[in-house]
Amino acid sequence: MSLLENSFLKLPLQNAIQLYGDEVVPRLTKRNKVIAIGTAVALSIIYFLRDRVTKPPRKLRHIPYLSYFGVLRSMYYKESVRDRSARVHIPEINSENSNGLFLEVARNGWVLHVANPEDAKRVFLKLELFPKIDLSAERSGTLNSKFTIGPNLPMINGAHWKAQRKVANPAFRRSMPVKLFGQLTQEMFKSMENKGEVYNVSDLMERWTLDAIGIAGFGFDFKSIHNKDSEWVHRYARINEGLRDPIFFLFPYLDTNFRWLFPHRVETHKQTDIFLEMLDEVIKSKKLDLENGVKNNALEENERDLLSLMLESGEEGNGILSNKELKSNLCAFFLAGHDTTANALSYAIHYLAENQGIQEKARQEAISILGDEPCDILPTIEDTKKMTYINQIMKETLRINGPVARTLPRVVQEDIFLSGTFVPKGTLLVVNMFGIQHSNKIWSDPDVFNPDRFSENGEGIRETGEGMAWVPFGNGARQCIGMNFSLNEQRVLLSMLLRKYRWSTPKDSPHKNGIISAGLNVQGPVDLDIAFQKLY
């Protein structure tokens, strides 16, 4: 037996994998690349199975838990979070004996799902008892760590989080660029001219929100509405695809030690580096402008970009963020404000296509607020406050198809009881927002699209009751900071779209008998084609 083989057998498995990557893989020929990849995956799977066994730790086995291999099966078949939640979670939550708590294995081990409004309220309001889990060290060097995991608002805790929130809060309160959203909607209308009547709404909303978050976030125009083949559109699409790859998400070791075996992954990292370098240059340029007293006075206060407002926040005594913190937060704003809003708009357009009466009622509201002149009217902030029924449509869309299915993991800081169930210190926990918003114990006919739930006397009023039943943006102090930003994007685009077009689902649409979604934690409709008819 060689010295290398003997060392390999004596090492703990994690170190053995490291040795395999450093010593064995480099000796393999190009011809054996498939074997190398297979061995790397096998070793990672063994390590995963060894450290996260098929049953929860004994201290948690008094809590109902879902099949370990069922999760792997869903991953293998790339089942969307929405579809798995509807197929597996909802029957568990709705079962007679369920109190809305169950365990399921995830990337970080066994996680307690909280799927009842009362316990969700406690989790959202007790920050010190349920802080976010620290993922920085575990995923260092992965694509997710480059783009997602860093010193940003969604990831940090305690005093660090409070300091950043103090800087970001004023910026988000001041920045509400409804004129920009209206102008981008006009540009989208131009791009739709003379291109037939059927459009891929998923693609259209992805490009519209990319331009919106780029300009409103840090003053960078991706120009994706008119040029879907631009290098920046392809670059961000590639990054987005890479962040959602289930194999590298489940086995981050492949991304750090065996990346070279996956040329597509190597290229994705290169494109991510280019994107991050662009953010670095934008931050430097904005800081230089601020130092030289350069300010775009042509823009109204609410139309200015978030980065400029955060930089100015330091001069106003609200605190200063480092370049690293600024860049990390811009990445977080991108992930929180791009796909989520694009998917919410796509879902809303789908439900309005499927419910012509609701669409027409919403159109009449838009006309009553913006007028019936046969031309594009850009809503003002005051106009958006009057969109009562459109707001109900948005809230029902976010309830039935909220783009995010569950919160980021949190860790319980002391032994507690939730719904009479003992939960030991150190337990990982998520709020299952999809489960809460689809439980028939909370909502009547939860799978039926019904905006009247959120009318003045509708059942949606329970969200302000004993628990929290409508939570697409979370709640409490750590509620999504961009919630109002996103809701105003949706109000502007939907109201203008309703005045300009009437739309329906094509007869041959795969979504005709139910929306088809995809995605890990962030989910959206797949290639949603919609037929539009111009009204002016």
Q: How far is CA 438 from CA 432, 433, 458, in A?
A: 10, 9, 16
CB-neighbour burial class of residue 170 (10 A; exposed 0-12, middle 13-18, buried 19+): middle
Quick check: helix, strand or coil at residue 151?
A: coil
C-alpha dihedral sign at 27, 33, 35, 39: positive
What is the residue type of 87?
R
Give the distance from CA 269 to its chain's centroid.
Answer: 20
- Known binding-site residue numbers: 480
Q: How far apart are CA 210 and CA 341, in angstroms?
A: 10
Q: Give the C-alpha separation, 254 to 1, whole Å.
A: 28
Q: Which residues of 402-419 are buried (b: 16+ CB within 10 A; e: fewer)?
A: bbbbbbbbbbbeeebebe
Phi, psi of 316 (to 5 degrees): -90, 5
Closest CA to 104 of 96, 95, 94, 113: 113
- What b/e string do you get for 300-329 counting C-beta neighbours within 10 Å, with b at 16 or more? eebbbbbbbbbbbbeeeebeebeeebbbbb
DSSP characters over 70-114: HHHHHHHTT--HHHHIIIIIHHHHHSTT--SEEEEEETTEEEEEE
3-state DSSP call for residue 290?
helix
SS3 449: coil
319's tokens: 């605190």
Q: Which long-range contacts (CB under 8 A, 24 or more apart) does 52-59 make?
A: 52/105, 52/109, 52/110, 56/103, 56/105, 56/110, 57/110, 59/424
Q: Reduced to 3 states, what is the DSSP secondary structure of residue 316?
A: coil
What are the structure tokens assigned to 485, written together? 């930003």
Which residues belong to the annotated binding site for heme?
Answer: 480
Query: Which tokens hold the place of 347?
Result: 């879902």
Q: 204, 237, 521, 180: which is closest to 349 by C-alpha?
A: 204
Per the structure block, which two tokens stand in for 314?
């330091």
Which residue type is seen at 478? R
CA distance 240 to 55: 32
